[in-house]
């Protein structure tokens, strides 16, 4: 009976917690359970969830990408500078920004796959390198419309309205960025569960040597996972620049830990016990609901991290307790 209860908790605990949290805030806050508020919650979790999808993909192949936050930062300032400093069209801005994310992913793969540096150490080094590069590129300044340079001249350009729509626009009251996120979650889920390449990623992460002996090109699979991680972090950076309408240095610094929290909360969704994109999305929603509700209750912002940490500990405790019991 006890084991059955634990298994039910493992499979449906995260979903029950979300429902419970929504019920609590709905009872306490009259304007919480509204269409517009839930649309706002979806919009608020968009950027961190894109970053978390990248982390999920790296974890699936038994890795860990710590550089996603720095990737967000550099793509944010690159996107803003291309429009504000160099007056480039939106298609060029988006293409180059995504390319930056791909290059960072390839650098991670080179260090990890070719040079065999442990994932955490390699991506930590890349995190510092990219962080230094984006601050050097901007000389430590935020980038905004017609900003003034130290020599007294002003930047000739400004953020394009089409670009701003990506992060600020709405369709049927739902943020356009949230619609992009839902499409991305569905596509990645289908890729991971319904395609040969998605299954190869899980096999590689489960046992790389067995995967190699079965004919899977393990190095290629791990390389693609890190490239995809950089690409999704770059999308997060583009949306960040679009939402705030400027290029903020260190924009991605807080996003790494929130993304990691969402991913690990997602381990317990429907009893997956492994990285999965639906679980990651659910974890992001849970964190978004908590932050939204706590903000509406006027709790100080610095208490939010305590709540996030407690939720993460509870999710991990249930996940790994049940997994360890199943192995014994």
Q: Are residues 226 and 168 in the same domain?
A: yes
pLDDT digits (tens, 9 = 90+) for 185-222: 999 999 999 999 999 999 999 999 999 999 999 999 99
State the pLDDT at residue 3.
62
**Cα dihedral sign for 253, 254, 259, 264?**
positive
Q: Are 245 and 262 within one domain?
A: no
Q: Let me know: does 230 contact 108? Beta carbons within 8 Å.
A: yes
DSSP-derived secondary structure letter, 149: P
Asked if residue 17 is part of any domain, the answer here is yes
What is the model's pTM? Answer: 0.93
Per DSSP, the three-state class of 61 is coil
Res. 267: pLDDT tops 70: yes
- Mark whether 99 and 197 lie in a shared domain: yes
Q: Tell me: do 55 and 156 sit in the same domain.
A: yes
In degrees to the nearest 10, what's the CA dihedral of 263, 269, 271, 277? -50
At 118-163, the pLDDT tens digits run: 999 999 999 999 999 999 999 999 999 999 998 889 999 999 999 9
State yes or no: pLDDT of 270 exceeds 70. Answer: no
Structural domain containing residue 93: 47-253
In a domain? residue 70 = yes
Quote the DSSP letter at residue 87: -
- Same-domain check for residues 161 and 210: yes
- Residue 38 in domain: no
280-306: average pLDDT: 87
Looking at the structure, tell me whether residues 299 and 205 fall in a common domain: no
The answer to whether the beta carbons of residues 233 and 68 sit under 8 Å apart is yes
3-state per-residue secondary structure call for 16-38: HHHHHHHHHHHHHCCCCCCHHHH
Q: Are 7 and 113 in the same domain?
A: no
Residue with tokens 């919480």: 32
Domain C-terminal end among 253, 274, 299: 253
- Tell whether 131 and 154 lie within a shared domain: yes
Least confident of 79-93, 183-197, 237-251, 265-279: 265-279
d(CA 15, CA 18): 5
Question: Do 200 and 74 share a structural domain?
Answer: yes
Number of domains within the chain:
2
Q: Are residues 249 and 260 in the same domain?
A: no
Calpha distance 82→97 (Å, rounded): 9
Could you tell me if residue 42 is inside a domain?
A: no
- Return d(Cα 288, Cα 258) in angstroms, integer: 10
Judgement on whether residues 109 and 148 belong to the same structural domain of the protein: yes
* Residue 39 within a domain: no
Instruction: Report whether pLDDT(25) > 60.
Output: yes
Give the residue from 236, 253, 270 where a domain finishes.
253
Tell me if 275 is assigned to some domain: yes
- Greatest alpha-carbon pair distance for the chain in Å reads 74
- Examine residue 160 and state whether it is found in any structural domain, yes or no: yes
Residue 125 lies in a domain: yes
Q: Which of 253, 284, 306 is the last residue of a domain?
A: 253
pLDDT in tens, 58-95: 999 999 999 999 999 999 999 999 999 999 999 999 99
267 and 323 both lie in a single domain: yes
């Amino acid at each position: 009976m006890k084991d059955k209860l634990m298994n039910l908790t493992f499979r449906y605990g995260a979903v029950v917690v979300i429902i419970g949290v929504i019920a609590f805030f709905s009872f306490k806050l009259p304007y919480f359970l509204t269409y517009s508020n839930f649309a706002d919650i979806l919009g608020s979790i968009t950027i961190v969830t894109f970053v978390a999808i990248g982390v999920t993909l790296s974890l699936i192949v038994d890795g860990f990408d710590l550089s996603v936050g720095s990737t967000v930062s550099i793509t944010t300032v690159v996107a803003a500078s291309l429009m504000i400093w160099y007056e480039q069209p939106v298609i060029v801005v988006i293409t180059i920004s995504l390319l930056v994310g791909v290059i960072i992913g390839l650098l991670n793969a080179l260090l990890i796959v070719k040079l065999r540096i442990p994932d955490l150490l390699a991506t930590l080094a890349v995190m510092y390198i990219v962080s230094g590069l984006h601050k050097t590129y901007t000389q430590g300044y935020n980038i905004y419309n017609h900003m003034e340079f130290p020599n007294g001249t002003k930047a000739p350009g400004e953020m394009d309205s089409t670009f701003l729509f990506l992060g600020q626009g709405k369709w049927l009251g739902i943020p356009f960025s949230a619609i992009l996120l839902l499409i991305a979650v569905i596509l990645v889920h289908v890729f991971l569960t319904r395609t040969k390449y998605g299954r190869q990623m899980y096999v590689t992460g489960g046992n790389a040597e067995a995967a190699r002996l079965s004919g899977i090109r393990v190095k290629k699979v791990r390389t693609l996972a890190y490239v995809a991680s950089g690409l999704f972090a770059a999308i997060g950076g583009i949306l960040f620049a679009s939402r705030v309408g400027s290029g903020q240095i260190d924009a991605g610094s807080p996003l790494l830990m929130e993304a990691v929290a969402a991913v690990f909360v997602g381990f317990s969704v429907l009893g997956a016990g492994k990285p999965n994109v639906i679980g990651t999305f659910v974890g992001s929603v849970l964190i978004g609901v908590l932050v939204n509700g706590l903000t509406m209750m006027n709790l100080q912002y610095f208490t939010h991290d305590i709540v996030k940490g407690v939720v993460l500990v509870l999710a991990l405790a249930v996940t790994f307790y049940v997994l360890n019991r199943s192995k014994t």
